[in-house]
């Protein structure tokens, strides 16, 4: 009998738009085992990093899985949601450097899509972006810009209380030109929202 980890990995490897509904049914059954939740979230993040072209599809899968689980197992749905939020926050805690930058960018795009589907609320998004912008790491500035540019404007407007994001985006000392241009785009995006 296959382990839960292998079963989750196998299901996520088979995900496509055509079989999405069946994958959701199978995941719903697997996730009734409380030990499967962290494995599911970890595998989901891994897939979004390694297969970033399918990020939106993976977000649809987790959204529909939660919608499927919530009516009969509300506590389980809360546990899955909590695990997803904790893992999202952890992604920004470590250092971001040239070696892990691409993985972090893919993960940030996944988190932007989760935010667009209302998994991550504006207050948490605010805290994540402020944390990224208050570092002295140009790659964290890049991740903040990705969130500002890829999250829906209404959500960014709610998260950007009192224009908290604008001032840090002007700090360009020690930042390469490519990221400076991203910061400029992010500032323009914020400016057009007001």
> How far apart (Å, rounded) are the C-alpha atoms in residues 107 and 194?
28
Higher pLDDT, 34 or 46: 46
Alpha-carbon torsion (8, 117, 168, 143), positive or negative: positive
- How many C-beta neighbours within 10 Å does residue 194 have? 8
Integer CA distances (angstroms), 12 to 100, 129, 136, in order: 23, 29, 36
CB 92 within 8 A of CB 132: yes
Mean residue pLDDT across the chain: 90
* Average pLDDT, integer, range 130-151: 95
pLDDT digits (tens, 9 = 90+) for 97-112: 999 999 999 999 999 9
Domain that holds residue 124: 97-194
- At 17-43, the pLDDT tens digits run 999 999 999 999 888 877 789 999 999
Position 2 confidence tier, pLDDT thresholds 50, 70, 90: low
Determine the pLDDT at residue 152.
95
pLDDT tens column, 160-183: 887 789 888 888 888 999 999 999
Domain boundary among 90, 117, 132: 90
187 in the same domain as 104: yes
Q: Which of 104, 79, 30 is nearest to 12 (CA)?
A: 30
- Residue 193 has what pLDDT? 61
Domain boundary among 32, 58, 90: 90
Residues 106 and 190 in one domain: yes
The arithmetic mean of pLDDT across residues 177-190, rounded, is 93
Q: Which of 90, 122, 137 is the last residue of a domain?
A: 90
Q: What's the structural domain count of the chain?
A: 2
User: What is the per-residue pLDDT for 93?
Assistant: 85
């Amino acid at each position: 009998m296959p382990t839960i980890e292998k079963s989750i990995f196998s299901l996520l490897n088979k995900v496509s738009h055509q079989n999405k509904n069946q994958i959701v049914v199978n995941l719903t059954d697997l996730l009734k085992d409380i030990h499967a939740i962290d494995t599911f979230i970890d595998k989901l993040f891994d897939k979004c990093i390694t297969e970033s072209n399918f990020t939106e599809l993976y977000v649809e899968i987790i959204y529909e899985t939660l919608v499927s689980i919530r009516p009969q197992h509300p506590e389980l749905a809360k546990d899955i949601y909590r695990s997803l939020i904790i893992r999202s926050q952890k992604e920004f805690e470590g250092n971001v450097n040239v070696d892990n930058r691409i993985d972090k960018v893919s993960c940030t795009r996944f988190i932007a899509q989760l935010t667009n589907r209302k998994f991550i609320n504006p207050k948490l998004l605010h805290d994540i972006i402020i944390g990224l912008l208050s570092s002295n790491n140009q790659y964290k500035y890049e991740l903040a810009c990705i969130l500002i540019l890829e999250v829906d404007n209404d959500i960014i407007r709610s998260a950007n209380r009192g224009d908290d994001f604008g001032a840090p985006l002007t700090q360009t000392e020690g930042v390469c030109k490519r990221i400076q241009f991203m910061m400029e785009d992010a500032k323009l995006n914020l400016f057009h929202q007001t």
